[in-house]
Structure 1
Amino acid sequence: MKASANQLRTALDKPGGVIRLFLLHGPDEAVADELARRLQTAMGADAERIDLDPATLKSDPARLADEAASLSLFGGARHIRIAPAGEESLEAFRMLLTATHAGNPVVAIAPGVRSTAGIVKLAIDSPKAMAFACYAPTAADAEQIAVRLAHDHGLRTSGGIGRRIAEAAGGDRAIMAREIEKMALYLDAAPDRPQDLDDTAIDAIGADLGDAEMQRAVDAVIEGRPADLGRELARLAEARTSPIPWLRAIARRLIALAEMRAEIDRGEGVDTVMKRHRVFFREEAATARALRRWTPVALARGLARVRAAERSVMAPGNAGDVLAEVAVTDLARATARRG
Structure 2
Amino acid sequence: MAQKKPGEVEAFLSRPDFSFPVILLYGPDPGLVSERSEKVAELSGVDRSDPFAAVTLAADELEKDIGRLYDEAQTVSMFGGTRLIRVRGAGNGKSLAEAVAELSAKKLDGAIVILEAGDLKKSSALRANAERGKFAIALPCYQDEGRAIDKMIDEEMRESGLTIGREARDELRARLGANRIASRGEIRKLCLYALGTSSVTEEDVRAIVGDVSADTLEETIDAAASGEVRRLPHLIDRLVSAGTATFQLHQQLLRYFQQLQTMREMVEKGGEPVGRVVERRRPHFRRKHAMEVALSAWPLDAITTILQRIDADILASRKEGGLALTITRQTLLDVAVEAARLRTRH
CA 50–159 in structure 1, closer or farther in 2 if over 3 Å, else same = closer
1:9 to 2:13 alignment: yes
Alignment of 1:122-201 (within 5 A): 122-170=129-177, 172-189=179-196, 195-201=198-204
Moved more, 291-300 or 36-45: 291-300
Alignment of 1:277-296 (within 5 A): 282=298, 284=303, 289=309, 292-293=312-313, 295-296=317-318
Percent sequence identity over matched residues? 17
CA 50–143 in structure 1, closer or farther in 2 if over 3 Å, else same = closer
CA 101–332 in structure 1, closer or farther in 2 if over 3 Å, else same = closer
2: CA distance, partners of 1:142 / 1:155: 17
Q: Which residue of 2 aligns with 1:66?
A: 71
Q: Which residue of 2 aligns with 1:206?
A: 209
Contact in 2 for aligned 1:65/1:95 (Cα 8 Å): no
1: CA distance, partners of 2:252 / 2:218: 25
Instruction: State the Cα deviation string for residues 241-286 of structure 1 (Å, max 9, x = none).
Output: xx97x779994985242478xxxxxxxxx8x995268696639566
Gaps of 5+ in 2: 263-293, 335-346
Amino acid in structure 2 at the alignment position of 1:135: Y
Shift of 1:106: 1.4
Gaps of 5+ in 1: 237-242, 261-269, 303-330
Contact in 2 for aligned 1:27/1:135 (Cα 8 Å): yes
**SS of the residue 1:18 aligns to:** coil
Shift of 1:105: 1.6
1: CA distance, partners of 2:218 / 2:20: 49
Contact in 2 for aligned 1:218/1:249 (Cα 8 Å): no
Contact in 2 for aligned 1:166/1:176 (Cα 8 Å): no
Moved more, 174-183 or 115-124: 115-124
Per the normalisation by structure 1, the TM-score is: 0.61
Q: Which residue of 2 aligns with 1:32?
A: 33
Alignment of 1:312-331 (within 5 A): none
CA 286–142 in structure 1, closer or farther in 2 if over 3 Å, else same = farther
CA 72–181 in structure 1, closer or farther in 2 if over 3 Å, else same = same
1:50 to 2:56 alignment: yes
Task: Note the aligned Cα RMSD (angstroms).
Answer: 4.8
Instruction: State the Cα deviation string for residues 157-192 of structure 1 (Å, max 9, x = none).
Output: 222433322220225432332222222222215xxx
**SS of the residue 2:90 aligns to:** coil
Shift of 1:129: 1.7
**SS of the residue 2:166 aligns to:** coil
1: CA distance, partners of 2:21 / 2:42: 17
Shift of 1:110: 2.8
Instruction: State the Cα deviation string for residues 60-93 of structure 1 (Å, max 9, x = none).
Output: 6665333211146798844231422336233211
Alignment of 1:195-234 (within 5 A): 195-207=198-210, 215=220, 219=224, 233=234
1: CA distance, partners of 2:321 / 2:157: 29
Query: Of the two, which has the highest radius of gyration?
Result: 2
